[in-house]
């Protein structure tokens, strides 16, 4: 699981719009964005390098929570917004069966390796 | 990916691939050429092992000029970049 937190110098509605308006998403997330903002709605993201990812919206709570599931692998992304003294606290949690396993194994391996080298 | 766990374990089942991971754990990054010089393997074998490790999500490669530089997969680096882009996006709108 990956968890990232950032405090953004903007009101919550503004951050929500940046996360959910395809035109705004095209300014920071991907080059071409389609998003049907309702539970079960589809989302497509295309990047300049030819990469393309599809997702299905799972949860929409305006100004508070947005969750979607990646279609190409078992993974989900959850955005949570909260007021902060300096603007808006945005938390992103991404889980993926593929890398949580890979990273756990890798972490124990790296640790074992460095111990073995001492 | 139908069986991510199986892919990880079969990637780790090979001793040469564990050597590749060990090298990356110790040195941070390496190209196929560097690994060929360091490990008792042919360049073709190194390239094949890197592809298997990459498919399993254990390493990731970044193409730099004519070579690809590999590192152990770092969780969340992608989100650091995206959130930084979001911060800049919001600043531009102000």
Nearest-Cα distance to chain A for B88, in Å, is 8
Answer yes or no: do B21 and A106 touch at CB < 8 A.
yes
Q: Which residues pair with B69 in a beta bridge?
A: B31, B62
Q: Which residues pair with A65 in a beta bridge?
A: A61, A80
Q: How confident is the model at residue A113 (pLDDT cuts 50, 70, 90)?
A: very low
Residue listed under structure tokens 């599809």: A54
Residue ranges per structural domain of chain A: 2-117
Please give the residue that has the higher pLDDT: either A115 or A51. A51
Chain A contact for B4, CB < 8 A? yes
Q: Which has the minimum average pLDDT: A22-26, A27-31, B77-81?
A: B77-81
Question: CA nearest A91: which of A2, A3, A1?
Answer: A3
Please give the residue that has the higher pLDDT: either A106 or A5. A5
Q: Does position B26 have pLDDT exceeding 60, yes or no? A: yes
Instruction: Give this complex's ipTM.
Output: 0.82
Chain B contact for A7, CB < 8 A? no
Answer yes or no: do B26 and A9 touch at CB < 8 A.
no
Residues 6 or more apart in contact with residue A31 via CB below 8 angstroms: A46, A47, A48
Answer yes or no: do B90 and A15 touch at CB < 8 A.
yes
Domains of chain B: 4-92 (1.10.10.10)
Tell me: the pLDDT tens digits for B34-79? 999 999 999 999 999 999 999 988 898 988 888 999 998 876 777 8
Residues of B within 8 A of A103 (CB-CB) are: 73, 75
Domain A2-117 homologous superfamily, CATH: START domain (3.30.530.20)
Q: Does position A97 have pLDDT exceeding 70, yes or no? A: no
How much is the average pLDDT of A57-82?
92
Chain B residue closest to A6 (CA)? B83
Q: Which residues of A81-93 are buried (b: 16+ CB within 10 A; e: fewer)?
A: beeeeebbbbebb
DSSP calls for A82-115:
EEETTEEEEEEEEEEHHHHHHHHHHHHHHHHHHH
Q: What is the pLDDT of residue A116?
A: 40
Gap between the Cα atoms of B17 and B53, Å rounded: 7
How much is the average pLDDT of A56-80?
92
Answer yes or no: do A101 and B4 touch at CB < 8 A.
yes
Answer yes or no: do A8 and B90 touch at CB < 8 A.
yes
Structure tokens belonging to residue A95 = 């889980």
């Amino acid at each position: 699981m990956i968890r990232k937190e950032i405090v953004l110098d903007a009101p919550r509605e503004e951050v929500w719009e940046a996360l959910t308006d395809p035109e705004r998403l095209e300014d920071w997330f991907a080059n071409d964005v389609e998003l049907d903002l309702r539970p079960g709605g589809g989302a497509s993201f295309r990047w300049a390098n030819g990469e393309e990812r599809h997702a299905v919206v799972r949860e929409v709570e305006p100004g508070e929570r947005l969750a979607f599931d990646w279609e190409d692998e078992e993974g989900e992304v959850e955005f949570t917004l909260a007021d902060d003294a300096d603007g808006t606290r945005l938390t992103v949690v991404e889980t993926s069966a593929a890398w949580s396993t890979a990273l756990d194994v890798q972490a124990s391996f790296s640790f074992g390796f460095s111990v073995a080298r001492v | 990916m139908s069986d991510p766990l199986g892919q990880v374990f079969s990637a780790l089942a090979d001793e040469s691939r564990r050597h590749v991971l060990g090298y990356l754990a110790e040195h941070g990054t390496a190209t196929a050429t560097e690994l060929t010089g360091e490990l008792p393997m042919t360049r073709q074998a190194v390239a094949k092992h890197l592809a298997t490790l990459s498919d399993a999500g254990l390493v990731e490669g970044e193409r730099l000029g004519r070579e690809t530089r590999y590192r152990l997969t770092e969780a969340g680096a992608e989100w650091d970049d995206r959130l930084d882009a979001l911060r800049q996006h919001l600043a531009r709108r102000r």
